[in-house]
Amino acid sequence: MKSQKTAENLLKLEHKKLAKKLHRAVHEANNDYHIIEEGDRVMVCLSGGKDSYTMLDLLLYVQSHAPMNFEIVAVNLDQKQPGFPAHILPAYLKNLGVEYKIITKDTYSIVIDKTPEGATMCTLCSRLRRGTLYSAAADLECNKLALGHHREDMIETMFLNMFFGGRLEAMPPKYRTDDGKFVVIRPLAYCKEKDIEKYAELQNYPIIPCNLCGSQEGMQRQVIKKMLLDWDKDYPGRTEKIFKSMRNISPSHMLDKGIFDFEKLERKVHSKSTANSD
């Protein structure tokens, strides 16, 4: 009995320490990028996965503790995937006392129909989902959309774009949509995936698995994820260094003429040598 009590106390302590760590990560990201601001109405995109549940939880904490006022609306897109338990999220959100909206749109059938055999479903699925969520944000009068991408998602995306797209680009903590109507934010930008996984387990979220995203074998993101895990296993701390480098860029030491004016640098040097000769 005593050992059981000790184990329970240790588990509670672990839970408390992990929550504090995640709160600190969200606070730091918010300080660096002003992700949440006074007067925002934030649409929290809730898929039913560990990341989005954790994001909602952490934003509710910020809402109750931060010295600013902002609103939260949780939104789930029911894509009519076979076997999707449509009752789980409404019950969870109602019990939480959060304003929410469930959108029902059969994008699943479109993705299955339009995706060639062997091709990845993610691109089309993401595009259809994004368009629906933008429309919902307008209807709900939200100025920001919160997505549950974490630190590892951002690192993996950088390598995906580098290896398969030929560009050095990741996921920013915030950006404005092309039409200028909304700002998309990633409150979990500084949160580690392993911390989120453990926190979701301790919170006992009613996780809803996705039958599309990540369900296909041989996906490029899975290859990148394995590569990073192997690197971190062989060289502990490498992921930390990679993420730090994403926040410490030297444009003059890259090759992109669009972000550094190499021609202007040449002209300055030429001008100086001409002046010295006079």
pLDDT value of position 210: 72
Does residue 108 surpass a pLDDT of 80?
A: no
Q: What is the rounded average pLDDT for all residues in the chain?
A: 88
- At residue 204 the predicted structure's pLDDT band, cuts being 50, 70 and 90, is very high
For 188, phi then psi, to 5°, come to -90, 15
Whether residue 84 contacts residue 52, with contact meaning beta carbons closer than 8 Å, is answered with: no
Does residue 215 surpass a pLDDT of 80?
A: no
Does residue 252 surpass a pLDDT of 80?
A: yes
Does residue 60 surpass a pLDDT of 70?
A: yes
Whether residue 66 contacts residue 36, with contact meaning beta carbons closer than 8 Å, is answered with: yes
Does residue 276 surpass a pLDDT of 70?
A: no
Does residue 59 surpass a pLDDT of 60?
A: yes
Side by side, the strands of the sheet bearing 174-176 are 100-104, 71-78, 41-45, 144-146, 183-185, 174-176
pLDDT value of position 116: 65
Lowest mean pLDDT among 9-23, 189-203, 262-276: 262-276
Does residue 258 surpass a pLDDT of 60?
A: yes
Does residue 273 surpass a pLDDT of 70?
A: no
Does residue 139 surpass a pLDDT of 60?
A: yes
Neighbours of 135 (CB within 10 A): 12
Does residue 56 surpass a pLDDT of 80?
A: yes
The stretch 8-19 carries a mean pLDDT of 88
Closest CA to 189 of 142, 147, 250, 236: 147
Helical segments of the chain, H only: 2-33, 50-65, 88-96, 107-114, 122-139, 151-160, 193-203, 220-234, 238-246, 262-277
Does residue 111 surpass a pLDDT of 90?
A: no
pLDDT value of position 87: 92
Neighbours of 119 (CB within 10 A): 11
**Exposed, middle or buried, 22 (CB in 10 Å: 0-12/13-18/19+)?**
buried
The stretch 126-142 carries a mean pLDDT of 87
Does residue 144 surpass a pLDDT of 60?
A: yes
Q: CATH second-level architecture of 12-247?
A: 3-Layer(aba) Sandwich (3.40)
Tokens 């549940």 identify what position?
Answer: 53
pTM listed for this prediction: 0.87
Does residue 197 surpass a pLDDT of 90?
A: yes
Lowest mean pLDDT among 5-9, 89-93, 198-202: 5-9
- At residue 83 the predicted structure's pLDDT band, cuts being 50, 70 and 90, is confident
- The residues near 201 (Cβ < 8 Å, ≥ 6 apart) are none
**242-248 CB contacts, 8 Å cutoff, 24+ apart:** 242/155, 243/151, 243/154, 243/155, 246/154, 246/155, 246/158, 246/170
Q: How far is CA 23 from CA 137, 187, 257, in A?
A: 26, 10, 39
Q: Cα separation of 180 and 3, whole Å?
A: 58
